[in-house]
Each structure stands twice: as structure tokens, then as C-alpha cells.
Homo-oligomer: A and B are copies of this chain.
Amino acid sequence: MHAQRLSDLRAELARLGLDGFIVPRADEHLGEYVPENAERLAWLTGFTGSAGMAVVLADKAAVFSDGRYVLQLAAQTDPALWERRHLIDEPPQGWLAANAEGRRIGYDPLLIGEEALGRFTEAGVTMVPVEQNPLDAVWKDRPDPPMAAAVPHPLERAGRSAEEKREEIGKILRAAKQDAAVVTDPASIAWLLNIRGTDVSFNPIALGFAIVHADAGVELFMAPQKLPPATRDWLGNAVSVQDRPALPGALRALKGKRVRVDAAGSPIWFAQALRAAGAQVVAGMDPCMLPKASKNAVEQQGTRNAHARDAVAVCRFLHWLETAAGNETEVSAAERLVAFRTEVKDFVGESFPAISGAGEDGAVIHYRATAETDRKMKHNETYLIDSGAQYLDGTTDITRTIWTGPEAAPNDIRDRFTRVLKGHIALAMAIFPQGVGGGHIDAFARNALWQVGLDYDHGTGHGVGSYLSVHEGPVSISRAARPIPIAAGMILSNEPGYYLPGSYGIRLENLLLVQPAELPNAVKPFLRFETLTFAPFDRRLIEPSLLGRAETDWLDTYHAKVWEVVGPHMPKGDRKWLQESCRKLEQM
């Protein structure tokens, strides 16, 4: 099947006079979750992971993915057809440089950003944009694009009217002397116009594009059938709606204008179309990104409420886990957590595919338990579960690592767990001046591990949306974070970890809300974090002697708050367990 597809594509490339073609795992929005009709990489290669790329030449082909998908890539793709390569260590541009120097390699400009394309051009191949994706020409039964209805996100959840937001963006554009901005991220459109959708999994967005003008008017490009009358009314007269095919004409109409395009987040097709039309393309961040990242007071209270309700499901689940070892599997446990969440008011769905890893599976950082990998939870091992939910009033994301017992946890695992916890607490307690970015405080969360030569190979935190994407830009907490100041109202995850491959994994994650720090002697504005997530940390894995006084105080105060917030809402049968789990550390 995949042999036929590959040979069909090669025939099409030959017809187009191309020496090769790249097939990234991407849709026209460069989004994390893509609709079925954009699953070109899976259709062509069989590989269904969430990150990857295929490169097809006339005589050879390779498929790339990153470290978390090594086994899956090998299992799902045919070695007779595909060289299997590491996306980061042996990137596609290097493979092309070695195998196709100077050749003409096609790409679909709707599926790659300007910065990513630049890396191919630098590799010494000639990158040729195609007007129509040749893969789509040979994918005969390609699904239709999703046509789910977009629905209003009401003011009592959004906190600010779309009109006010459009005015803010217009003002930003006028200040930058720009006439318009192209917005290709459906999450930005969802924020800007106060709408939500169900076109893709996990992220409540309606796929579409927008042009925002300096006068605060918006052209929305979205199939009319996705906008029922109530939603069309909700958008108002300052938002014009046209179907997707009208987009090229609308870009041509920007001739002579200064138009902002996000060089990292938008497909290069937009800059190319604008330049061809005689518009002046100005590289700049999607203007909705920063305003969207700083949640207003209504969104902040919504996310607090969502987290308090989510905590009931999570705490019931943690209690339920006490007897899971020997009876449950990674998959059944994750399903049980979804079942608890389904009982929570305003639950919409998971905010990402849960990571449910027992023992050595917990050491696989982006592990996903499937029917093939699923295994029973054993006694006397760690179990890591990273999960989240979308509620109408907020998005959650929490990770806990527990000890299944009944024996005591080994000292080395307790040492590592406590060091991860120290990092988590250091970040939660951080106070820092305005202007500081996520790259400047990342080390707080790593320090206790670094002191003994350990570390974790992922970022410490990512932005989180308000009933939107659980991975939201532009701010993150990591060594590679963009130099963008952390600002009040942002929601960031705090998730240090430690992973011993083949043995166990630890990750401890709460979400943080950035707040002004009220300090009596402050010489300038400072910020601090409010922890949004409420669930106890497993004290069977804590070594109290490794914690300093301030750390123990933080933990006791946190657990007291968990009991205060969650306790009253716990079913009777779970309440005592929670109270016990939230007692002071000294009382062990």
C-alpha cells in the first residue's frame, strides 16, 4: 500500500519536473494538532507520530522523527521504502545536502514557515514551491477538511469583548506603522473574535485565517457553513467572512501596504503571496500572541475555578490509584482519569493525549501508552501521569508521580524525586522583576539536580491558554526560551523532572499564574507565581532531610491549600484519604 503511494508520488514529481519533495507533518496553520485531511505524512509513510517529515527523491526516500518516536517510526514504516532517521541528530536538510546537492526539491509553501525553509536553502538544495501539493493529487480518498461549527465564547468567560480586542490589535499595528497583519494561528483568531471550535483534537479551535487591519476591521477566511447564524451575528459587522478560496485575492488587495507576517509561526506561502502582490512584508510576531498570553481577570478567575474542579477528579483518581497496582494498566488508568473528569462540570475533553507511564515507561519523556505498549502497573514501582482537560472556563495540565507500594520506595528514587520537588518549589517561590524571561529562571528548577550532575532533557514550562491550546506561545521557561518578558496574567507550567532510561521517570507539574508581587520595599515592579493546580505530592517519595525550612514550609502551606480548596468537594469516601495526604510533612 505505502509502496504504491510512494511510487504514485514519484510519478507526479517527475511530471512536475521536481527531483524531490518534502512532506512535513503539518497543516496550513503549522499547528500542533492537525485535521485528518492534513495527515499527509501518515498517509504516505504509515508513521502516525506528532512530529516528523518525509523526504522523497526519485531513487531513495527517508522519514524523520525525534527521539520519542524511534520505536514507533521503525514499527510503522517499511525499511524497504524508507531510511529512518532522527529529526534532530540527522536532520532532513543534512540528508538532502548529502543526497541531493544542487537538485530541485519541491515544497508546499502552505506547510512550512520561513525560518524552517531557510535551513533547507542553506543546505545547498534548490527549494521549489509548488502551487498544488503533488501528494494531494495522488491521495485519492483524502478526507474533506473538518467543517465543525464555530461557537461563541461568551463574554462571561472571555472577559473582554472582541471589539475591544480588535481595537487593541489595531492600535498595535498603527503604533508599528503597519497597515495589516496576517493571522494564521486559529488560536489567535479564537481569542480575537471570542469563538471556539472542534475542528481538531484537544484544542478547541475553528480552523481559519484572518487579516486584521490597522482600523480594527477583520477579514475572516472560514467556510460559511462553519458559521451558523448565531455565530455570524456574534462576530458583528466589523468582521467580514469569506470562504478560504477568497484568501489569495484578499492578499493581492494588500498591494502597497505594510503587512505583518509571523516568520516563525506562519506558512511562508503568505509572505510569498504578499510579496508577489507588491505588499511590503514586515516580519513580526502574530499581534494577538502577547495580548492572548496575559489573561484578564475573568479568564484568571475562570482558570482558578476550572483548576479547583479539575482537582476533585485528579484527587479522586490519585486515591483510586492506591489500589491500582496489580489490577490496572497504563491505558485503563488513563481512561479512569478521563472518567473522573467527565463527571466535572463544564468538562469538554482532554487538553492533550495523557502520558501514563508505569516504571520504565515513565522514563520515556513523551510516552504514549497504546494497545501495543500498554502494561500492567506493578507493585513497588513509580507511576507517572501527565494529563489535562479543557473546561469551558479554563485549560488544565498536571503531572504527578506516585509510588505504587506497598514497600517503601528506594532511597535513590526518593533522592531524585525530592530534588525534582525542590526545583518545582524553587520556581513556585520565585520572585523576579519585570523584564525577566523564561530563560533567566529556568535554572531555578534544575539547580538541585545539577548539584549532583543530573538534569532533564526538556523545558521547565510552557504557556497555557484560557480554554485554548495547552501549549501556548510566546513565553516558555527553558534554556531556549525566546527573550520575551514574563508578564502578569500569563499562565505557565512548572514541570521539572528526572528520567532514568529503562528504569523510572519523575515529573511534577503544576500550572502557575503570573501575578504582581506586592513587596513593601520593591524598587521596581516585581512578579511572583500563584499556583493554580491542587493535588498532593506523594510523600512516600519525599526525603524530608533534603528539604530546607523554606521548602518544607512551602509544601505544608501548599498541601493545606489543597485540602482547603478540594476537601469540601471530595466524595465522602475520598475525603479522609485527601486529608491524610495533605497533612504536614513533620507529622510523617
Interface residues, chain A, CB within 8 Å of chain B? 430-433, 435-437, 439-444, 446-447, 450-455, 479, 517, 519-524, 526, 548
Contacts A432-B446, A439-B439, A454-B522 aside, 11 further interface pairs with beta carbons under 8 A come to: A432-B443, A437-B479, A440-B443, A443-B443, A444-B447, A452-B521, A452-B522, A453-B517, A453-B520, A455-B524, A548-B548
B521 contacts A440, CB within 8 Å?
Answer: no
Which has the most chain B C-beta neighbours within 10 Å: A444, A450, A519, A520?
Answer: A450
Given A440-B442, A444-B443, the answer on whether A431 and B454 have CB atoms closer than 8 Å is: no
Q: State which of B433, B442, B450, B520 has its C-beta within 8 Å of the C-beta of A455.
A: B433
- A455 to B447, alpha carbons, bound, how many Å? 21
- A444 to B479, alpha carbons, bound, how many Å? 14
13 chain-A/chain-B pairs, Cβ below 8 angstroms: A430-B450, A431-B453, A433-B455, A435-B479, A437-B479, A440-B442, A443-B444, A444-B447, A453-B517, A453-B522, A453-B526, A454-B521, A454-B522
**What 4 pairs between A and B have smallest CB-CB spacing?**
A453-B522, A453-B519, A431-B450, A440-B443
Q: In the complex, what residues of B have CB within 8 A of residue A524's CB? A: 453, 455
Name A521's closest neighbour in chain B (CB-CB): B453
Q: In the complex, what residues of B have CB within 8 A of residue A440's CB? A: 439-440, 442-443, 479
A482 CB, nearest partner CB in chain B, Å: 11
- A433 to B435, alpha carbons, bound, how many Å? 25
Name A519's closest neighbour in chain B (CB-CB): B453
Interface SS of chain A: loop
| Integer count of this chain's copies in the complex | 2
Q: In the complex, what residues of B have CB within 8 A of residue A444's CB? A: 443, 447
Q: In the complex, what residues of B have CB within 8 A of residue A437's CB? A: 479
- A431 to B521, alpha carbons, bound, how many Å? 31
Q: State which of B441, B450, B517 has its C-beta within 8 Å of the C-beta of A432.
A: B450
- A442 to B443, alpha carbons, bound, how many Å? 9
Name A524's closest neighbour in chain B (CB-CB): B455
- A524 to B446, alpha carbons, bound, how many Å? 14
Name A433's closest neighbour in chain B (CB-CB): B455
B548 contacts A453, CB within 8 Å?
Answer: no
A450 contacts B479, CB within 8 Å?
Answer: no
A494 CB, nearest partner CB in chain B, Å: 15
Q: In the complex, what residues of B have CB within 8 A of residue A517's CB? A: 453
Q: In the complex, what residues of B have CB within 8 A of residue A451's CB? A: 431
Name A444's closest neighbour in chain B (CB-CB): B443
Name A527's closest neighbour in chain B (CB-CB): B450
Q: State which of B431, B479, B519, B548 has its C-beta within 8 Å of the C-beta of A436.
A: B479
Q: In the complex, what residues of B have CB within 8 A of residue A430's CB? A: 447, 450
Q: In the complex, what residues of B have CB within 8 A of residue A454's CB? A: 521-523
- A432 to B450, alpha carbons, bound, how many Å? 6
Q: In the complex, what residues of B have CB within 8 A of residue A523's CB? A: 453-455
A526 contacts B439, CB within 8 Å?
Answer: no
Given A439-B440, A440-B443, A441-B443, the answer on whether A452 and B548 have CB atoms closer than 8 Å is: no
- A444 to B439, alpha carbons, bound, how many Å? 13
A414 CB, nearest partner CB in chain B, Å: 15
- A524 to B453, alpha carbons, bound, how many Å? 7
- A520 to B442, alpha carbons, bound, how many Å? 24
Name A480's closest neighbour in chain B (CB-CB): B483
Which has the most chain B C-beta neighbours within 10 Å: A430, A442, A443, A453?
Answer: A453
- A574 to B135, alpha carbons, bound, how many Å? 83
- A450 to B447, alpha carbons, bound, how many Å? 17
Q: In the complex, what residues of B have CB within 8 A of residue A446's CB? A: 432
A477 CB, nearest partner CB in chain B, Å: 11
A261 CB, nearest partner CB in chain B, Å: 19
Which has the most chain B C-beta neighbours within 10 Å: A437, A444, A479?
Answer: A479
B450 contacts A433, CB within 8 Å?
Answer: yes
A145 CB, nearest partner CB in chain B, Å: 40
Q: In the complex, what residues of B have CB within 8 A of residue A442's CB? A: 440
- A452 to B450, alpha carbons, bound, how many Å? 26
Q: In the complex, what residues of B have CB within 8 A of residue A519's CB? A: 452-453
Q: In the complex, what residues of B have CB within 8 A of residue A521's CB? A: 452-454
